[in-house]
């Protein structure tokens, strides 16, 4: 599993530092519906990254990858829920 993480870490850093989400966030935060668009974008972005991470772990052949992917998605959903409830 360490090899899979080591191999996917540079891609994860590249995705994180990509200018596309940064530009999208800046444009959304300056829009009229920023309070709705911002959390929706973050939720979609995190779900997308979680799905990609789960696929990478499953394809890499790591043991218990499905369990780890489900656990990561549950934790992500919990954190997003906590963040959204803090906004209201």
- Mean pLDDT in the chain? 73
Domain boundaries, the chain: 2-87
pTM assigned to the model: 0.46
Alpha helices in the chain (DSSP H): 2-16, 19-29, 34-60, 65-87
| pLDDT at position 15 over 70 | no
CA distances from 70 to 55, 73, 85 (A): 11, 5, 22
Say what the pLDDT of residue 60 is.
Answer: 66
- pLDDT tens-digit map of 42-73: 788 788 877 777 776 666 666 666 677 777 77
């Amino acid at each position: 599993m360490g090899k899979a993480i080591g191999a996917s870490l540079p891609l994860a850093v590249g995705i994180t530092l990509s200018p596309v989400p940064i530009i999208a966030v800046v444009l959304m935060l300056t829009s009229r519906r920023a309070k709705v668009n911002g959390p929706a974008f973050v939720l979609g972005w995190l779900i997308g990254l979680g799905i990609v991470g789960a696929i990478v772990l499953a394809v890499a052949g790591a043991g218990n990858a499905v369990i780890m992917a489900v656990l990561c998605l549950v934790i992500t959903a919990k954190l997003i829920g906590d963040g959204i409830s803090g906004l209201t």
